[in-house]
Amino acid sequence: MHRRSILWGTLSAIGAAFATSGANAATEAAPRKLKVAYHLDDLDKVNFVISNIQNHLDGAGGPGNVTIALVVHGQALKAFHSAAANPDLSKHVGQFSKDGVELAACGNTMKSQNITLAGLLPGFVAAERGGVVRLAELQSQGYLYLRP
């Protein structure tokens, strides 16, 4: 009888260990929601970066599965002036805004280009202290930095 108790206790302990490891594996297997900051300052790369963001949203399974911020400064900001933006870019920016993508325009660039938020496509916020400062803030909050 004593052997049976030892055997039963051993089997119970092994079963508990497997159950615990299975619960831990399930918890660890749940992917964490990535946070990504895209850096855009090159006018020639605007369409490329916009396509990358769209592909990122699609590949992640939608905006609910990834947090994306786009920080624009320098010559690239000219593409987002509402008076000069092409319809396709306007459509993407509008959808990104609905999807919760942060669209940040460098305050310093806005001053140098003599433009306000009202002159940019809807959905932009001003990075008052500068685009590179905003990128550093995002990185300190755990955002991954991408500069395509």
Residue 146: beta bridge partners?
38
* pLDDT, tens digit (0-9, with 9 covering 90-100), for 120-132: 999 999 999 999 9
pLDDT digits (tens, 9 = 90+) for 30-71: 567 899 999 999 999 999 999 999 999 999 999 999 999 999
DSSP category for residue 121: P
Residues in contact with 131: Cβ distance below 8 Å, sequence separation at least 6, in sequence order: 39, 41, 71, 72, 73, 74, 104, 105, 106, 107, 108, 109
**DSSP 3-state assignment of 9?**
helix
pTM of the prediction?
0.79
- One-letter amino acid of 81: H
